Amino acid sequence: MIWRNTIFNQRPMSPNLRALALDHRWFLQRGVGSLLMMVALGLSLGGCGLIETGFEGPSRVEILGQSGQYQMLRNGEVYRPVGAGSVPGQLESLKAHGANSIRTWHVGDGGILDDAHALGLTVSLCLDVGRERLGFDYDDADAVAEQLEEFRETVRKFKNHPALLTWIIGNELNIESRNPKVWNAVNDIALMIKAEDPNHPVTTALAGLGSKEVRALAQRAPALDFISAQVYGGISGLAQAMDRVGLDKPIMVTEWGTRGHWETRATQWRAPIELSSARKAEHYISGYKNVLEPNADRIIGSYAFLWGQKQERTPTWYGTLTASGHRTEAADALFFLWQGRWPENRAPQVSGLTLNGKSPESSLRVRPGQRLEAQVSMLDREADPLTLTWIVRPESQAKQVGGDLERVPPVVPGLLKVSEGDRALLSAPATSGAYRLFVRVEDTAGGVGHANFPFWVR
């Protein structure tokens, strides 16, 4: 049977109507008359446009090969997922940049599958397995069994969705993990999925790729079809790591991007030094061209981190977009990597930032209220008019790991005195402590470059 999935592509729309419009099971249960009624209802609600997409099935996904010569097949055809983890509302821009797939960190209501399918994207769907660092106890047999049954219901609910590509069983369960039974639980979930859904491969996503974890998975979770690793600065050594740990399964890179905040140099007060947007773009290109692409026979797919914006040590560290959806140089780099050409108008290039003539590595200390002179190194290739925004925030004191939720430090008001060209004059905050100066360089075509500078007020 061919399912006809009717997607209303104009917003806003009532949540109830959207839920019906995106649920193909509703039409299958009620027949064509109900579909015609829904079309009429959609047209009556503000003339919503209709996109009708035909699809067959669930998809069948296989991984074939051996000894470092692997391929993923989707419905019998070679398929290499390239994409990103995305924040809500940005799938269209991700698709436009050349992605064919997304990964998630949880299932939610499953709406992401419908949204992705409407755009022709596949989904590596992550089951949010309990983490020790957040209190889950793998010695609690009842809790482990209850978690397994909850995931069984999830798998039964979504296993036949045509956008589904793979199942990810937990994200970075090895961070601050001491109980090896977590991997037995992962194996039980993998076996359950294979029994319920033989059409989609299963994996778990590791932070890094260490010998200890690979051995543990080989011993305790042999049901996994492939291993997933999440690497940032460490991507440059990934091929060597695969050889070193004796990996005998294919691998997918389910997060990669700029250098992590734990991998960069830091000030004397341990504030990590963030790369400018231009340096981040260079790191994306280097990781893809030097590692992901040459090792395509072993690395069966990859998801960049992050298509969107989030606070993780700073509001700009990992996002390829801003909170308002403007694209950074890293987004342009992904466009180039996925499509083989640069976008017609590229984001401003921001390669560095100085404060009182010093670099961020200088561990600059200033007096309360001291006059500060900032200068940003920037270039717009199309000579678009540029708008610069300068703000200061207290340094984040977050100690979270693994992407756990962080609070954005507030802006310190009233510090900017003059902004002209590539320079700004500011006053240092009146209260002692660690701070960070941010500059945002925005063009008129939706592009943004950025940099920041940690400093200390004595």
- 325 shares a domain with 362: no
How high is the pLDDT of residue 252?
98
Regions of the chain where pLDDT drops below 50: 1-55
What pLDDT sits at residue 14? 34
Mark which of 305, 339, 373 sits at the end of a domain: 339
Instruction: Say how far apart CA 66 and CA 363 lie, in whole Å.
Output: 50
266 domain-assigned: yes
Q: Please indicate, yes or no, if residue 384 is contained in any of the structural domains.
A: yes
Q: Could you say which of 339, 364, 390 is where a domain stops?
A: 339
Within this chain, do residues 75 and 188 fall inside the same structural domain, yes or no? yes
Tell me if 357 is assigned to some domain.
Answer: yes
Residue 67: the pLDDT is 82
Report the pLDDT value the prediction gives residue 56, as an integer from 0 to 100.
56
pLDDT digits (tens, 9 = 90+) for 129-164: 999 999 999 999 999 999 999 999 999 999 999 999
Let me know whether 130 and 166 are in one domain.
yes
> Residue 418 maps to which CATH number?
2.60.40.10
**Is residue 74 located within the same domain as residue 217?**
yes
Residue 344 lies in a domain: no
Q: Say yes or no: 178 and 35 in one domain.
A: no
Q: What range does the domain containing 132 cover?
A: 57-339
Whose CA is closest to 291, among 213, 210, 233? Answer: 233
* pLDDT of res. 46: 35
Q: Are both 166 and 130 inside the same structural domain? A: yes
CB atoms within 10 A of CB 112: 20
pLDDT digits (tens, 9 = 90+) for 321-361: 999 999 999 999 999 999 999 999 999 999 999 999 999 99
Q: How far is it, in rounded angstroms, from Cα 245 to Cα 147? A: 30
**pLDDT value for 282:** 98
| Residue 268 belongs to some domain of the structure | yes
Cβ contact 304:86 at 8 Å: no
Q: Are 163 and 117 in contact (CB under 8 A)?
A: yes
| Count of domains for the chain | 3
**Of 317, 339, 361, which residue constitutes the final position of a domain?**
339
Residue 418 lies in a domain: yes
437 and 419 assigned to the same domain: yes
The pLDDT of residue 87 is 93
pTM of this structure: 0.87
